[in-house]
Chains A and B, each alone.
Chain A
Amino acid sequence: MPPVPEAVHLRVSHVTKRFGGVLAVDDVSFDVPRGAFATLLGPSGCGKTTTLRMIAGFYDPDAGDIEIGGRRVNDLPAHRRGTAMVFQDYALFPHMTVRDNVAYGLRVAHVGSSDRQRRVDETLSFVGLTGLGDRWPSQLSGGQQQRVAVARALVIEPQVLLLDEPLSNLDAKLREQLRVELRIMQRRLGMTFIYVTHDQAEALSLSDWIAVMNKGKVEQAGAPWEIYYHPRTAFLADFVGAVNLVPATIADLAAETVTVTFGRHQAAVRRPSEVPLAAGQDVRLCVRPESLTIAAPAAGANGVTLQGSIVRRAFLGDTMRYWVKVDDREWIVDQADPGGSAALDGPVSVSVRPDRVHLITA
Chain B
Amino acid sequence: MRSLRREPVLLLALLAVIALVVLFILYPQLQVVFAPGPSGYADFLAGGTWLRPLRNSVEVTLLSTTTAVALGFVYAYAMVYSHMAWKPFFRIVGILPLLSPPFVVAFSYLLLFGPRGIITYGVFGQSPVIFGLFGIWGVQTIAYFPFAYQLIADVLSRSDARMEQAARNLGAGPWRVFRTVTLPLSRPGLGAAILTTAIYVLEDFGNPQTIGGVFTVLPTQAYSLISGFGDFTGAAAVSTILLLLALGLYVAKIRLDGGRAFVTISGRASSMPRPPVPRTVSAACFVACLALAALLILVYGTLVVSAFTAVFPTNLSFTTRHFEFVATGTNGDALKNTLVFSTVAAGLSAVFALFAGWLVQRGDWPGRGVLDFLLIMPAAIPGIFFGIGYLTAFNQAWLDWVDRGWLIILAMVFWNIPVGYQAAVAGLRQIDRSLDEAATSLGASKLRGFRDVLLPMLGGSLRVGFVTTFVRAVTTLSVVIFLFTPATTVATIRIYQLVNDLNWGGATAFTVADIGMAIVALIVFAVLARGRIALGAARA
Contact A93 B440 (CB under 8 A): no
Q: Which residues from chain A contact B456 at a C-beta distance below 8 Å? A: 95
Q: Which residues from chain B contact A350 at a C-beta distance below 8 Å? A: none
Taking a contact as CB atoms closer than 8 A, the residue among A79, A87, A95 that contacts B444 in the complex is: A79
Contact B452 A104 (CB under 8 A): yes
24 contacts between A and B (CB under 8 A): A56-B437, A57-B440, A77-B6, A78-B3, A78-B440, A78-B441, A79-B440, A79-B441, A83-B441, A85-B438, A88-B434, A91-B432, A91-B434, A91-B435, A91-B438, A93-B452, A104-B442, A105-B442, A108-B439, A108-B442, A152-B442, A156-B442, A156-B443, A162-B441
Give B7's nearest chain A residue, CB to CB. Answer: A77
Q: Which residues from chain A contact B434 at a C-beta distance below 8 Å? A: 87-89, 91
Contact B453 A93 (CB under 8 A): yes
Counting CB contacts under 8 A, is A327 at the interface? no
Give the 10 A-B residue pairs with the shortest CB-CB distance, closest first.
Answer: A105-B442, A91-B434, A77-B6, A91-B438, A85-B441, A108-B443, A78-B440, A87-B434, A95-B456, A108-B444
Q: Which residues from chain B contact A78 at a C-beta distance below 8 Å? A: 3, 437, 440-441
Q: Smallest distance from the beta carbon of B10 to chain A beta carbons, Å?
A: 10
* Alpha-carbon separation in the docked complex, A15 to B340 (Å): 57
Counting CB contacts under 8 A, is B30 at the interface? no
Q: Smallest distance from the beta carbon of B381 to chain A beta carbons, Å?
A: 34
Counting CB contacts under 8 A, is A94 at the interface? yes
Taking a contact as CB atoms closer than 8 A, the residue among A76, A85, A108 that contacts B448 in the complex is: A108
Counting CB contacts under 8 A, is A58 at the interface? yes
Q: Smallest distance from the beta carbon of A264 to chain B beta carbons, Å?
A: 56
Binary contact readout B73-105 vs A (1 if CB under 8 angstroms, 0 otherwise): 000000000000000000000000000000000
Q: Which residues from chain B contact A58 at a C-beta distance below 8 Å? A: 437, 440
User: A interface vs B, CB < 8 Å?
Assistant: 56-58, 60, 75-80, 83-85, 87-89, 91-95, 104-105, 108-109, 152-153, 156, 162
* Alpha-carbon separation in the docked complex, A85 to B443 (Å): 11
Secondary structure dominating the interface of B: helix
Binary contact readout B434-477 vs A (1 if CB under 8 angstroms, 0 otherwise): 11011111111110100011001100000000000000000000
Q: Which residues from chain B contact A95 at a C-beta distance below 8 Å? A: 456-457
* Alpha-carbon separation in the docked complex, A24 to B448 (Å): 30
Taking a contact as CB atoms closer than 8 A, the residue among A75, A76, A84, A89 that contacts B442 in the complex is: A84
Q: Smallest distance from the beta carbon of B13 to chain A beta carbons, Å?
A: 15
Q: Smallest distance from the beta carbon of B259 to chain A beta carbons, Å?
A: 22
Counting CB contacts under 8 A, is B268 at the interface? no
Contact A79 B445 (CB under 8 A): yes
* Alpha-carbon separation in the docked complex, A105 to B452 (Å): 11
* Alpha-carbon separation in the docked complex, A104 to B439 (Å): 8
Q: Smallest distance from the beta carbon of A299 to chain B beta carbons, Å?
A: 61
* Alpha-carbon separation in the docked complex, A78 to B364 (Å): 14
Counting CB contacts under 8 A, is B530 at the interface? no
Give A89's nearest chain B residue, CB to CB. Answer: B434
Contact A93 B438 (CB under 8 A): yes
* Alpha-carbon separation in the docked complex, A84 to B457 (Å): 22
Contact B445 A77 (CB under 8 A): yes
Taking a contact as CB atoms closer than 8 A, the residue among B6, B7, B437, B445 that contacts A87 in the complex is: B437
* Alpha-carbon separation in the docked complex, A89 to B308 (Å): 61
Contact B6 A94 (CB under 8 A): no
* Alpha-carbon separation in the docked complex, A82 to B321 (Å): 71
Indicate the member of B7, B438, B440, B448 with the most A CB atoms within 10 Å.
Answer: B438
* Alpha-carbon separation in the docked complex, A58 to B438 (Å): 10
Q: Smallest distance from the beta carbon of B443 to chain A beta carbons, Å?
A: 5
User: B interface vs A, CB < 8 Å?
Assistant: 2-3, 6-7, 432, 434-435, 437-446, 448, 452-453, 456-457
Q: Smallest distance from the beta carbon of B106 to chain A beta carbons, Å?
A: 47
Contact A84 B432 (CB under 8 A): no
Q: Which residues from chain B contact A88 at a C-beta distance below 8 Å? A: 434
Q: Which residues from chain B contact A79 at a C-beta distance below 8 Å? A: 440-446, 448
Q: Which residues from chain A contact B453 at a C-beta distance below 8 Å? A: 93
Q: Which residues from chain A contact B445 at a C-beta distance below 8 Å? A: 77, 79
Q: Smallest distance from the beta carbon of A64 to chain B beta carbons, Å?
A: 15
Taking a contact as CB atoms closer than 8 A, the residue among A75, A109, A162 that contacts B443 in the complex is: A109
* Alpha-carbon separation in the docked complex, A75 to B7 (Å): 11
Q: Which residues from chain A contact B438 at a C-beta distance below 8 Å? A: 85, 87, 91-93, 152
Q: Which residues from chain A contact B6 at a C-beta distance below 8 Å? A: 75-77
Q: Which residues from chain B contact A156 at a C-beta distance below 8 Å? A: 442-443
Q: Smallest distance from the beta carbon of A87 to chain B beta carbons, Å?
A: 5
* Alpha-carbon separation in the docked complex, A279 to B442 (Å): 57
* Alpha-carbon separation in the docked complex, A58 to B475 (Å): 45
Q: Which residues from chain B contact A109 at a C-beta distance below 8 Å? A: 443
Q: Smallest distance from the beta carbon of B1 to chain A beta carbons, Å?
A: 9
* Alpha-carbon separation in the docked complex, A60 to B2 (Å): 8
Indicate the member of B442, B452, B457 with the most A CB atoms within 10 Å.
Answer: B442
* Alpha-carbon separation in the docked complex, A261 to B217 (Å): 93
* Alpha-carbon separation in the docked complex, A77 to B439 (Å): 13
Contact A91 B442 (CB under 8 A): no
Contact A105 B443 (CB under 8 A): yes
Q: Smallest distance from the beta carbon of B199 to chain A beta carbons, Å?
A: 35
Q: Which residues from chain B contact A94 at a C-beta distance below 8 Å? A: 457
Give B442's nearest chain A residue, CB to CB. Answer: A105
Q: Smallest distance from the beta carbon of B64 to chain A beta carbons, Å?
A: 45
Q: Which residues from chain A contact B442 at a C-beta distance below 8 Å? A: 79, 84, 104-105, 108, 152-153, 156
* Alpha-carbon separation in the docked complex, A76 to B440 (Å): 12
* Alpha-carbon separation in the docked complex, A95 to B446 (Å): 18
Give A155's nearest chain B residue, CB to CB. Answer: B442
Q: Which residues from chain A contact B448 at a C-beta distance below 8 Å? A: 79, 108
Give A158's nearest chain B residue, CB to CB. Answer: B441
Give A105's nearest chain B residue, CB to CB. Answer: B442
* Alpha-carbon separation in the docked complex, A88 to B433 (Å): 12
Give B455's nearest chain A residue, CB to CB. Answer: A95
Q: Apart from A78-B437, A88-B434, what 14 extra A-B contacts exist at CB < 8 Å?
A: A77-B6, A77-B7, A79-B440, A79-B448, A84-B442, A89-B434, A91-B435, A93-B452, A93-B453, A105-B443, A108-B439, A108-B442, A153-B442, A162-B441
Contact A93 B443 (CB under 8 A): no
Contact B441 A56 (CB under 8 A): yes
* Alpha-carbon separation in the docked complex, A94 to B444 (Å): 17
* Alpha-carbon separation in the docked complex, A77 to B447 (Å): 13
* Alpha-carbon separation in the docked complex, A152 to B258 (Å): 39
Q: Which residues from chain B contact A56 at a C-beta distance below 8 Å? A: 437, 441
Q: Which residues from chain B contact A104 at a C-beta distance below 8 Å? A: 439, 442, 444, 452
Give A109's nearest chain B residue, CB to CB. Answer: B443
* Alpha-carbon separation in the docked complex, A80 to B442 (Å): 9
* Alpha-carbon separation in the docked complex, A84 to B439 (Å): 9
* Alpha-carbon separation in the docked complex, A57 to B434 (Å): 13
Q: Which residues from chain B contact A91 at a C-beta distance below 8 Å? A: 432, 434-435, 437-438
Indicate the member of A75, A87, A153, A156 with the most B CB atoms within 10 Å.
Answer: A87
Q: Which residues from chain A contact B444 at a C-beta distance below 8 Å? A: 79, 104-105, 108
* Alpha-carbon separation in the docked complex, A85 to B440 (Å): 9
Q: Please judge, given known A-B contacts A77-B6, A104-B452, whether A93 and B435 are in contact too, CB under 8 Å.
A: yes
Contact B439 A85 (CB under 8 A): no
* Alpha-carbon separation in the docked complex, A165 to B439 (Å): 18
Q: Smallest distance from the beta carbon of B434 to chain A beta carbons, Å?
A: 4
* Alpha-carbon separation in the docked complex, A108 to B432 (Å): 21
Q: Smallest distance from the beta carbon of A318 to chain B beta carbons, Å?
A: 36
